């Protein structure tokens, strides 16, 4: 019988340790991807590889850490020693999710016994490959995407292996960032390892193991309690792509979510075979995307450990877009198809519990620009200022601009003034779109109109998924958001729409993006007329759209014409807009 007080104390203590590792990372890393965008996660695993806490981390890393730790256990069985630290990234050979996310896994020994691992997974600024900044939209094989790391013993009995270190630095376009960042990961896992060891010392190895098990069991019960509230059934939904990064084609992602009592099966049978381009997902990433969808659908307070997802069974047929086999490229997976996987799961779950349904978010379409800075160093510039609009949920409109769905918007959008100091860029505009957001009782986020001038010749990695008319992302009668658009106007040349996926070298240019918008929730004809009038007043919805999409008649003075609105909405009841 476990003492409930000690159990509660231990769970909080583990989460506290994971967060502590995150503080170290944020404050010691050097690239903005870590310290501004928080594109990393810190987690602790038991000696058998089960993740016991991932309190600090981006959603799309949820639950995926166990794959990495189990790969270490497998690759170095019997050769894991105190003072070691491992590095890995490969999604096919080493429990990685995609190549840019490197994992440092540091074993913790209690006496002679392998007790736990303290780990950090973090997105590196550059890992070589066919395009600067880790996203090679032209890749057709994983070798085009950067250096592949099997499980490496980077630190051997407290000694950093200098040969490996040089190998890593030599394979990055930004070794000055990589050096500081990997050291930050080593420092963060060191802090975590010391704290975890104290648990073993305070509680005893054997006894604390029982409690760790108790924490995983509790998490299991937590999700089961939520799932049990939903009606049993099989809920199907589809999402997909309209190209393989090279040519148009239909690439469906199909899911059937089966709720039986308190357990869930998520079955991707029917999903398209893996594609030529880099929008394939590793199994670890698919697992994480499903976990993200589930955790964000149910309750933000669900425990962040592997026990939470014990009741979830995932069927992802091999050789498909959601469980690719080598040598398929898959670097884009944490973005696409992560977005499609999250949304397709949301759609299916939303049928079981419409009140909790989440409208889909605008997809991304901004490129990555890289080149030489004024000081001669390589720079890699993500146009985060062109992020999309979010989807609506019951009770709120979509966020008009928000970080990507796979971070649940947790990725911070940079200040344009800071970008102008860091990069040869002038940001001209970052303003909400009119009539972008998907109409609904709760409106989808509008997305932004983004304009920037890049002053130097540079390379562009285009991955403009958001210009596609993705499947409708409205729910419960809400409409989909408006798709995006992208245009580049190089100096002295005609403006043109770049290929959806491509890597191009271009002279100084003006980049213009209409960021995709989020979907609406619920029937737009049931939206509060005053909220529609406020949107009109604020320039987010036009007078015409207020009438056609919402059935709200707004006068020249900006007031709701209640009588006309009533008639208009009444008429629409018999003939709703298509």
Window 351 to 410, contacts with another protein (CB under 8 A)? 358, 387, 390, 393-397, 399-403, 407-410
**Looking at beta carbons only, is 36 or 258 nearer to another protein?**
36
Judged by CB under 8 A, the number of residues near another protein is 85
Beta strands in 303-424 (DSSP E): 312-315, 368-372, 378-382
**Looking at beta carbons only, is 337 or 391 nearer to another protein?**
391
The distance of closest approach from Cβ of residue 59 to another protein in the complex, given in angstroms and rounded to an integer, is: 7
**Looking at beta carbons only, is 113 or 201 nearer to another protein?**
201
HSE-CB of 115 using CA atoms within 13 angstroms: 26
3-class SS of residue 294: helix
Q: Which of 431, 457, 559, 561 binds another protein (CB under 8 A)?
A: 431
CA dihedral 201, 41, 168, 374 (to 10 degrees): -130
The distance of closest approach from Cβ of residue 232 to another protein in the complex, given in angstroms and rounded to an integer, is: 19
**Looking at beta carbons only, is 432 or 550 nearer to another protein?**
432
Select from 10-18, 70-78, 81-89, 569-577 the region that touches another protein (CB under 8 A).
Answer: 10-18
Give the whole-angstrom CA distance, residue 399 versus residue 446: 8
The answer to whether 442 touches 520, Cβ cutoff 8 Å, is: yes
Give the whole-angstrom CA distance, residue 499 versus residue 408: 28
85-111: string of b/e by CB count within 10 Å (b at 16+)?
bbbbbbbbbbbbbbbbbbbbbbbbbbe
Q: Which of 70, 144, 161, 176 binds another protein (CB under 8 A)?
A: 176
263-281: string of b/e by CB count within 10 Å (b at 16+)?
ebebbbeebbebbbbbbbb
Select from 4-12, 156-164, 240-248, 569-577 the region that touches another protein (CB under 8 A).
Answer: 4-12
Q: Which of 7, 114, 205, 543 binds another protein (CB under 8 A)?
A: 7
Give the whole-angstrom CA distance, residue 212 versus residue 238: 38
Q: Which of 96, 367, 371, 414 binds another protein (CB under 8 A)?
A: 414
**Looking at beta carbons only, is 140 or 308 nearer to another protein?**
308
Q: Which of 40, 432, 462, 501 binds another protein (CB under 8 A)?
A: 432
Among 199, 190, 193, which residue's Cα sits nearest to residue 10? 199
The binding track of 442-471 with respect to another protein, each residue x by CB under 8 A or -, is ------x--x--------------------
27 binds another protein (CB under 8 A): yes
Residues 540-569 that bind another protein (CB under 8 A): 540
**Looking at beta carbons only, is 254 or 535 nearer to another protein?**
535
Residue 511: exposed, middle, or buried by beta-carbon count in 10 A (0-12, 13-18, 19+)? buried
Select from 80-88, 327-335, 496-504, 530-538 the region that touches another protein (CB under 8 A).
Answer: 530-538
The answer to whether 460 touches 367, Cβ cutoff 8 Å, is: yes
**Looking at beta carbons only, is 432 or 525 nearer to another protein?**
432
């Amino acid at each position: 019988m476990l003492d409930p007080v000690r159990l509660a104390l231990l769970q909080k203590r583990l989460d506290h340790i994971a967060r502590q590792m995150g503080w170290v990372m944020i404050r010691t890393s050097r690239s903005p991807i870590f310290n501004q965008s928080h594109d990393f996660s810190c987690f602790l695993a038991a000696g058998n590889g089960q993740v016991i806490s991932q309190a600090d981390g981006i959603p799309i890393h949820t639950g995926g850490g166990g794959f990495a730790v189990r790969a270490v256990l497998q690759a170095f069985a019997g050769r894991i020693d105190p003072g070691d630290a491992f590095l890995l990234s490969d999604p096919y050979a080493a429990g990685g999710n995609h190549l840019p996310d490197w994992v440092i896994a540091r074993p913790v020994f209690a006496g002679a016994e392998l007790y736990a691992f303290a780990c950090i997974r973090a997105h590196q600024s550059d890992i070589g490959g066919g395009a600067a900044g880790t996203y090679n939209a032209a890749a057709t094989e994983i070798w085009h995407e950067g250096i592949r790391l099997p499980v490496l013993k980077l630190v051997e009995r407290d000694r950093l292996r200098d040969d490996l270190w040089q190998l890593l630095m030599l394979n990055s376009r930004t070794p000055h960032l990589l050096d500081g960042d990997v050291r930050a990961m080593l420092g963060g896992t060191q802090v975590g390892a010391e704290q975890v060891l104290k648990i073993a010392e305070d509680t005893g190895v054997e006894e604390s193991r029982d409690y760790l098990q108790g924490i995983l069991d509790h998490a299991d019960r937590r999700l089961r309690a939520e799932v049990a509230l939903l009606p049993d059934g099989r809920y199907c939904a589809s999402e997909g792509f309209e190209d393989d990064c090279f040519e148009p084609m239909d690439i469906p992602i199909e899911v059937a979510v089966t709720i039986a009592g308190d357990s869930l099966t998520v079955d991707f049978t029917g999903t398209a075979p893996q594609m030529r381009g880099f929008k394939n997902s590793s199994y670890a990433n698919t697992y994480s995307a499903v976990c993200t969808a589930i955790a964000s659908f149910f309750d933000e307070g669900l425990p962040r450990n592997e026990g939470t997802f014990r009741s979830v069974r995932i069927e992802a047929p091999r050789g498909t877009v959601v469980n690719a086999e080598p040598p398929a490229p898959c670097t884009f997976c944490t973005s696409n198809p992560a977005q499609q996987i999250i949304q397709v799961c949301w759609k299916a779950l939303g049928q079981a519990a419409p009140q909790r349904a989440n409208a889909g978010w605008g997809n991304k379409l901004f490129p990555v620009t890289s080149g030489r800075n004024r000081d001669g160093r390589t720079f890699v510039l993500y146009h985060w200022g062109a992020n999309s609009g979010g989807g609506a949920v019951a009770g709120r409109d979509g966020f008009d601009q928000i970080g990507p769905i796979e971070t649940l918007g947790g990725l911070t959008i940079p200040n344009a003034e800071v970008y102008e100091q860091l990069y040869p860029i002038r940001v001209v505009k970052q303003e909400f779109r009119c009539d972008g957001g998907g109409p609904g009782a709760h409106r989808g986020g509008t997305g932004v109109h983004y304009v920037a001038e890049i002053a130097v010749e540079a390379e562009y990695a285009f991955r403009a998924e958001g210009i596609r008319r993705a499947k409708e992302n409205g729910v419960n009668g809400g409409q989909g958001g408006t798709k995006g658009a992208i245009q580049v106007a190089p100096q002295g040349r005609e403006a043109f729409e770049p290929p959806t996926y491509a890597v191009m070298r271009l002279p100084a240019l003006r980049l213009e993006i209409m960021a995709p918008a989020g979907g609406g929730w619920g029937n737009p004809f049931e939206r509060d007329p005053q909220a529609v009038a406020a949107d009109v007043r604020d320039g987010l919805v036009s007078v015409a759209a207020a009438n056609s999409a919402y059935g709200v008649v707004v006068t020249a003075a900006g007031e709701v014409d209640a009588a006309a609105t009533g008639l208009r909405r009444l008429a629409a009841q018999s003939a709703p807009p298509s």
